[in-house]
Each structure stands twice: as C-alpha cells, then as structure tokens.
Amino acid sequence: MPSRPSKRLETFANPRPARDYRIHMEIPEFTCLCPRTGQPDFATLVLEYVPERLCVELKSLKLYIGSYRNEGAFHEEVTNRILDDLVGATRPRFMRLTARFNVRGGIHTTVVAEYVKPGWKAKPAVDVSALPAAPGSTRG
C-alpha cells in the first residue's frame, strides 16, 4: 500500500549537535494549486539548515511536501508556512527555504524565507583557495 500524504513531520536526534554543519536538500516535485484559478503550480524547493538537536526525517518530509498537492496557496504563503512548520518541528540554528516556482503567465517567481535562532551566529566559511598547498601537491 502506498504511503499517504501527511502534515506530520518526524525528526531524529542530530548525530553531531556540537558541530555547525549544513544540510542541503532539493525537492524538485513540489506542487500546490493556484488559489485563484485552481491550476497546478510546480516548484523546486531548496532547503538548507544547520540543525541544533533535531534533524527532519526524509520520508516524513516527502509525505509532508506531498500533502500540498491539492491545496490552494499563494507562493509566498506556502513557502513561509512550510518554513514555519519545519522550524517548529526541528528548532534549528538556521534554516532557509527557497521556492523556485515554474513560469506561470510569463512570470517566474522565487520566494526565499529564513529563520535564524536568536543569538546564533554563523561561523565564517573557510576559503580553501587561500590555504597553502601541501608539499608535492599539484594544486595551484
């Protein structure tokens, strides 16, 4: 029996809670309905987050995303609602949801919503191109 769409997001314990690391997911098959016309809207969702104590479980995320298939929602609302639900379930240090909607009526829409845990600051990225090459390395 196939799995049914669900609004329930499941989580699991972050295996490395002391480390800031980024989880990146691309969800290319998001669909919802235009609340004005009832026509389907298609989008690719890009989820990036730095977990605190919990990570989102992938199958529950898939079923959650699928639960929007027959719901009418404006792009801005559905992007922010999904982010709010994911933040509520995982309580991350940082989370960004980018929703790249396919062209409709000649307009391509991208909505970006972010959450930053109060007091959390991202560590600066390491620029590996500025590091000295190892002896015998062909990098350069």
* Mean pLDDT, residues 3-9 taken together: 91
pLDDT higher than 80, residue 138: no
pLDDT higher than 70, residue 63: yes
Which residue type does 125 have?
A
pLDDT higher than 70, residue 139: no
Mean pLDDT over each residue of the chain, to the nearest integer: 93
pTM of the model: 0.89
Left if phi > 0, otherwise alpha if psi is -120 to 50, otherwise beta: which for 54?
Answer: beta
Q: Which residue among the candidates 20, 34, 84, 85 is catalytic per the annotation?
A: 34
pLDDT higher than 80, residue 20: yes
Give the other-Cβ count within 10 Å of 89's Cβ. 19
Q: Which residue among the candidates 20, 32, 41, 127 is catalytic per the annotation?
A: 41
What pLDDT is stored for residue 105 in this prediction?
A: 84
Residue of 130 and 12 predicted with greater confidence: 12
Known catalytic residue at 32: no
Known catalytic residue at 34: yes
Sequential DSSP letters for 11-80: EEE-S-TTS---EEEEEEEEEEE-TTT--EEEEEEEEEEE-SSEEE-HHHHHHHHHTTTT-B--HHHHHH
- Domains plus CATH for the chain? 11-119 (3.30.1130.10)
Q: How far apart are CA 4 and CA 49, in angstroms?
A: 26
Provide the pLDDT confidence category of residue 125 given band limits of 50, 70 and 90. confident
Residue-wise pLDDT for 69-103, tens only, equals 999 999 999 999 999 999 999 999 999 999 999 99
